[in-house]
Amino acid sequence: MVEPGLIKAAQSGDREALITLLREIETHVYRTAYYILNNEQDAMDASQEALIRIYTKIGSYEEKAQFKTWIQRIVTNICIDKFRRNKPTVSIDEHEMVFHEKQNVEEEVLSAYALQDIRSAIDKLPEHHRTVVVLRYLQDFSYNEIADSLDLPLNTVKSYLFRARQQLQTLLHDYQKGGVRG
């Protein structure tokens, strides 16, 4: 993700290296916050708070954990705190679908509905299940990286993912039967 030399330079007080480091990770930080919070404004607030925390705590980073798991722990903890403070809300923002001439419109519509339903199902999961699903399937973290990021035992992560998949399977029952919501 980030060059170790850049991290070391940022830790040693090189302001330019720190700014470069923050710019390299800001998209990753925002994406994680958005997937967890499912609200653009809250994700922007959380990612800004996370970047500030990384800026102020970079000196405390130790190479015991991977840098990306250290960042992930910061972002996830901020999102969990924000989620606990605010009750979840349903976003009324709909993403615009743009159709291109040579694409199959029916496939795009069905795909958009499927993505919307999957996102909705993920949002219905309990907070701890949603977080591990986001880290595993949307951020492509390994089980060990998730355990490190969330400070959980590996077996707990596996258990959360197992239960989350079961819940998603139940929530997405219509798709298993070939149905589509409409």
Identify which of 114, 128, 123, 113 has the alpha carbon closest to the alpha carbon of residue 163.
128
pLDDT at 178: 53
Amino acid at 128: H
- Domain match, 130 and 58 both: no
pLDDT in tens, 95-150: 444 545 455 555 555 556 666 777 788 888 888 898 898 888 877 888 998 898 88
- Total domains in the chain come to 2
Residue 124, domain CATH: 1.10.10.10
**Which of 11, 23, 2, 150 has the alpha carbon at shortest distance from 67?**
2
pLDDT at 46 over 50: yes
Same domain, 1 and 81: yes
